[in-house]
Structure 1
Amino acid sequence: MMSVQITSAIPLVFLIISGFVVEGGWNVNYSPKSICALNVSTVTMGCTYTYPSGYVIVKTLWSTELVEGNQEPSDISLDAEYRDRVEYLGDKQSNCTLILRDVTEQDQRKYYFRFITNTATGKWQGQDGVQLFVTDLQVETPEEVVEGDDVTLTCKTTCNLTGPSYIWYKNGVSLSSTTKALNLKTVSSEHAGSYSCAVLGQSHSSSAVILDVRYAPKRASVSITPSGEIVEGSSVTLTCSSDANPPVQSYNWYKEKTLLGKENTYIIPNISSEDSGEYKCKSTNQHGSKYSSVILNVMYPPKNVSANPPVQNYTWFKEGGTSPVGSGQTYSFTISSSSSGWYYCVAQNKYGSHSSALSVILKARVSMIFYIVVGVCLTVVVVLLSGVFWTRRKLRDDLPEEPMLKQENIYSNVTARATSSDPASNLDMTNQDVQYASVVPQQHTYPRKAEGPVVKAAVSGPVEESEYATAQHQHHQFIEKDCIQYASVKFTCNGPASRCVGLSLEDSLVIYSSVK
């Protein structure tokens, strides 16, 4: 703000006393007849007087009384209230000028000049006198000022000062304005403060007046106690503050759209990771509202699938072992028969650790070769049964009716081992009498190994039935538990018409896992 310094001599207000002219030349002239003076300022009352020639002036005086006849008014120069403040600048010729210093409202009245000559009848007093008005300065402001308004401050007096220049002060610092009115455009809280005014060149100024600018909350903020990192399990206090005039009347705390509280503080005891997020405080007074926010970042040790700060190291263990088997977020290993079991991952940051378990199960996957072998065997069985049925029908058609009746109840059971590879054991359906056979391939069961889980694989073929013969396909069964080892399945079967060649089925292993 620019300060303007103006120097000027202290103006003196001259009061020229105008009297009235009377016969013989007796008069007193006052000019002007009325003066408006600033409180504690100095005024000068100028006047002139005349009298007839031949008279000698013996005494002159100023008085606040107007008398008639031979009465004598009091002389203010002898009055205790005026004695130290008045100075007569006139003479005993024609000048009757008077100076009155440090005028106050008590000095507000009329003043008269009187002179006395050397004769008993040679006395005269100017009857019009000089009217003195004393005023103070007062800053006038609007009753209420709201931010954004245009405001005018006025340096007010009770009488009209003659051509003065004014100076304005804010908080004791002079402003650039020199007019009676100080205009403030679009006021804000920055315009609030103490204002006073003075007349340029006078030491006296008005009493200071506070310009109170009302405004909605602004510069709102949220503070966190205690400061620093927020650790899960601690107690946290959020405090909302803002600059507002009048002060904030209500507070509202929100997390997302949920209302949490209505005080300027919000306390979260035993804070957890679920309390992380953005918190908003709404400050309100009669002129508006303001939001402020803060983000809580709660630190916690690893748990479930998250940690804050992030996990610093991972360590892998296998159930039954005491030493780590690996490190890092990913653990890779070559699958073998001993790979089954529980694996534990321990995740750790500076606030703690958390472990999770993973179960590895090895399970054999049946390959396409196995299905081909099974299909071939089933086809052989169907062909076998079809051949037997066709041969029987042909022989029955060729035999006489009576022998056929005799042989009706003749049956023969032939059991063939699936593992037999001797072609001689095959039935020669063309050279023998027709027999009705039930062909049952031997069933093989692969036992579970003692040291570990066993792979269970089940292969079953369809069962063909007819009036005379039943063929049952060999079953290979694998007993399955939680963990599966490598499986090698060999399947062999023999039949009257053809034989199944033993095939070896080996398949890759599949890893199944579950996380707890």
Structure 2
Amino acid sequence: MMDCPAVAPESVFSFMVFLFLPVQVHMQQNYVANLPTQITALSGSCVQIPCTFAPEDKLKNTNTIFGCWIKKNSAFLKTDSLVVFNGSTNIIKGFNHIEILGNLSQRECTTVFYDVMNNHTDNYYFRVEMKNPEEWKWTYAENPVYISVSHVPQPPILTPTHLQPVMEKTTVNLSCSAEAPCPKQPPTISWSKIPKSANITTQLKENPNKTQSVFSHVTFKASYMDNTKNISCTATYPRNTSNDSTVVTTMILRVLFSPKETHITVDPSDSVSVGTNVTLTCKSKANPNEMNYTWYKRGQEKKLDFGDKLTFNVDRTSGGWYFCTAENIHGTQTSEEIQLIVEKSQNKSLIIGCVGGISAFLLIFLLVTIFLRVQRVKASIIRETDVSDQGQEKHVQVNHIYHNSALTGAELEMPNDENDIHYGQIDFSTAQNKNATEKISGQETIYAEVHVSEKD
């Protein structure tokens, strides 16, 4: 059994080129491999190379067929060429694994290179070998594929690449495609800043050059709230490393719409009084943003003014309900009515005066109440003190009178004989006027005069 490094047929007949030149050219034109010129692989992942080859007539009676892949140089005699895969001996060099997926007997030679690394970047050539009943070998030196290995995958492609402004309520169709150099581990595509009601379909498709990509389509109705949104398509690539690779492509969606969310603001925002200035402002959203504003007041047929602001000096007739309209080339919207309340300055002064008078009356009433309560407390304390002093005084007088009477009685001598009894006369009327009161050591002593007259 012959392996891939055998001598190519072109070298055998090199000395007869001048005799068979037309035939050789015809043969080389038929011996063609359909390979992509270049394919980008992601390091830490795999890469699938689509491949078909000719001629078909060589396969009719072939029982045994093998495929080979050669790196860097198609000439086997040069030292810088390397056979990375030999199908006849199942020898793999420089890669962990290489697998031919295509059916070689059907001229399909699609191959997967696994665990691609940066040092695998180079040209690769396909070679085919056939045996039984006829032995035939050919290296497709004119159709190499260049494998470029990168740490970062190619960003996804958003179409249309330059989205024109769309009218609101119209259908928007966007497509995002991400290369799938390893269809066994295709990238996943996700969308951001699209409506929740959007319809999304995703599938793996073959490109014109036989490589594959993941295609995701999104469809939704444009809303004015989607205007100026950054819609993003994110492709996430799985890798045989600790981290996946993520790349993003973004576009700005612009939506044309008539005025929306039209409303009025008032400055000052509180109730206003006669003689003050007030400004009403009409605000709205629209695209394009060039708008015409008109002011109205309920009950008045004529238009008040034009422009986004309405400024005036308040009088007694300024109160009422105001509204505005905003208009651009796509339509018109009317705001909700807003009420302006006018307060007269006289009423305000009257209210302030009444409040001040009531407050002063309540303060005076409170002070008078406190003063009267203090006076009552003082009077009560004085009465209690007088009652206590009078009771003590009466008690002392009684004791002293009794004490003096006892002394007077002791000093009088009782006669033993009736004849010795002397009768006396006491005149209290005179003594009462001659009472003397002395305070000795905080006590009062009451003295009385007694007149004694002898009886014959």
TM range (shorter): 0.3 to 0.5
Q: Which one scores higher on RCO, CA 8 angstroms, separation ≥ 6?
A: 2
TM-score with structure 2 setting the length: 0.43
